[in-house]
Amino acid sequence: MGFKPLKAAMLCLIANAASGAFGAVGIPVITGAQMGNMTPLALSQTLVYTIPFISFCIPFLLILIVDGFKGIKETLPALLVVSGTYAILQAVTMVTMGPELANIISALASMGVLALFLRKWQPKNTFIVKKERQILNRNKRIAALKY
């Protein structure tokens, strides 16, 4: 996509911040509940007070890092749709079903809702990453020598 490697790694780490609490199908929450002598559903219902709010802010933070406040302003309707859908469904899933499907259901549903929303609305400007400096042909050849 044209991002610098360090920026791409930073974006991935931030994007995974909120969902990291649930890990692979809620295993960290289930393990934490077992260690604390509670049910996974009870711990999940406790986490609903913090995790959905963090999840709501993550898309805004990602756009802020990539394109600044201008990007947030241009994509605000889409950000509100995807963040709201994700946070609400995550909270509902955490309270009713437990930690196992909290991120899976909310992620799939928010992608679907965003796809439907983008059929009706499009941002005025499209973000394009500035081209990186061209690597000299000599450096390309040197890098390919090991192969």
Note the pLDDT tens digit of each residue in 36-79: 999 999 999 999 999 999 999 999 999 999 889 999 999 999 99
Average pLDDT, the chain: 85
- Give the residue-averaged pLDDT of 91-109: 92
**How far apart are alpha carbons 138 and 27 in whole angstroms?**
49
| pTM attached to this predicted model | 0.79
In the chain, % of residues over pLDDT 90? 54
